[in-house]
């Protein structure tokens, strides 16, 4: 049995995909770059600046670092304004029940997310109380598939990577977990990824494999 579990946030514990999509699409539209659901999938598990680089690549656009920073900040402002509508009702009962049962088993839990808004999301949804640690975009310099965010999460829990499992819905996240020496568990899109050590159809199934 693992001593700790590190959860990706978006797509695993809660979905803000639509908010990200809306904010990124508004930026792409301004730049005249075609951007739909298919293109949006390229951004899953990717940091803000790396996401912007992908979008610019789609349009074969080259901008200065200052211009890129400005666009990234505008995207984040729009995303955060959308986030303000989040409430505890945005979290399924299955997620809450699973986190409670893991706590009862004495398993430490952390969030490992490349988002710089992770703590705000946890606060708005009432999820913060369920976690012992948060590793997010404010404390890392490399985004997934680099394992830094999960390695720091394990360190915050006082555990080795080998003692922890990572739950991810993105291929880049599974690659990140594997690169760090974690036991990787795929859910959602990542449940069909052959490199995941285990695959689950819903968060509740986690209780039967940990």
Q: pLDDT, tens digit, for every residue of 162-205?
A: 999 999 999 999 999 999 999 999 999 999 999 999 999 999 99
Among all residues, which ones are annotated catalytic?
A: 8, 10
**164 and 115 share a domain?**
yes
Other Cβ atoms closer than 10 A to 175:
21
What local confidence, expressed as pLDDT, does residue 58 receive? 97
**60 and 109 share a domain?**
no
Q: Report the domain count for the chain.
A: 2
Residue 35: pLDDT over 90: yes
Look up tokens 């959860």; give the residue.
Answer: 7
**78 and 122 share a domain?**
no
**107 and 197 share a domain?**
yes
**36 and 129 share a domain?**
no
Residue 64: pLDDT over 90: yes
What local confidence, expressed as pLDDT, does residue 46 receive? 81
**Average pLDDT score over the chain:** 95
Residue 107 — very low, low, confident or very high, per pLDDT cuts 50/70/90? very high
Alpha-carbon distances, residue 41 vs 131, 141, 165 (angstroms): 28, 23, 24
Residue 128: pLDDT over 90: yes
Of 83, 107, 128, the residue that ends a domain is 83
**120 and 40 share a domain?**
no
Residue 47 — very low, low, confident or very high, per pLDDT cuts 50/70/90? confident
Tens digit of each residue's pLDDT (9 = 90 or more) over 10-34: 989 998 888 999 999 999 999 999 9
Residue 109: pLDDT over 80: yes
When pLDDT is averaged across residues 68-97 and rounded to a whole number, the result is 95
What local confidence, expressed as pLDDT, does residue 192 receive? 96
Q: What CATH number did the domain enclosing 39 receive?
A: 1.10.150.240
Residue 143 — very low, low, confident or very high, per pLDDT cuts 50/70/90? confident
Of 36, 61, 83, the residue that ends a domain is 83
Of 27, 60, 83, the residue that ends a domain is 83
**109 and 205 share a domain?**
yes
Instruction: Give residue 67's domain range.
Output: 17-83
Q: Considering the chain, what percentage of its residues have pLDDT values greater than 70?
A: 100
**46 and 61 share a domain?**
yes
**141 and 156 share a domain?**
yes
Q: What CATH number did the domain enclosing 201 receive?
A: 3.40.50.1000
**148 and 79 share a domain?**
no
Residue 45: pLDDT over 80: no
Look up tokens 């690659």; give the residue.
Answer: 175
**201 and 114 share a domain?**
yes
When pLDDT is averaged across residues 51-60 and rounded to a whole number, the result is 97
What local confidence, expressed as pLDDT, does residue 27 receive? 97
When pLDDT is averaged across residues 86-105 and rounded to a whole number, the result is 96
Is the CA virtual torsion 123, 125, 127, 133 positive or negative?
A: negative
What order of strands is seen across the sheet that includes strand 133-135?
A: 133-135, 108-112, 4-7, 164-168, 183-186, 198-199
Among 41, 45, 17, 39, smallest CA distance to 169 is for 45
**187 and 173 share a domain?**
yes
For residue 125 the two structure tokens come to: 């949804």
What local confidence, expressed as pLDDT, does residue 155 receive? 98
Q: How far apart are CA 63 and CA 70, in angstroms?
A: 11
CB-CB contact of 136 with 149 (8 Å): yes
């Amino acid at each position: 049995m693992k001593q700790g579990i590190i959860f990706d946030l978006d797509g695993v514990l809660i979905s803000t995909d639509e908010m990200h999509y809306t904010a990124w699409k508004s930026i792409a539209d301004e730049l005249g770059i075609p951007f739909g659901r298919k293109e949006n999938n390229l951004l899953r598990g990717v940091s803000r600046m790396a996401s912007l680089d992908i979008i610019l690549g789609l349009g074969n656009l080259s901008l200065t670092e200052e211009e890129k920073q400005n666009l990234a900040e505008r995207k984040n402002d729009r995303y955060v304004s959308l986030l303000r509508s989040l409430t505890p009702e945005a979290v399924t009962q299955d997620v809450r029940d699973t986190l409670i049962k893991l706590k009862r088993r004495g398993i430490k839990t952390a969030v490992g997310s490349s988002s710089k808004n992770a703590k705000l999301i946890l606060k708005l949804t009432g999820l913060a109380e369920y976690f012992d640690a948060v590793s997010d975009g404010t404390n890392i310099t490399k985004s997934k598939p680099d394992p830094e965010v999960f390695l720091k999460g394990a360190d915050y829990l006082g555990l080795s990577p080998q003692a922890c499992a990572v739950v991810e819905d993105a291929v880049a996240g599974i690659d990140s977990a594997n690169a760090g020496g974690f036991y990787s568990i795929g859910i959602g899109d990542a449940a069909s990824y052959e490199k995941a050590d285990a695959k689950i159809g819903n968060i509740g199934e986690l209780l039967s494999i940990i």
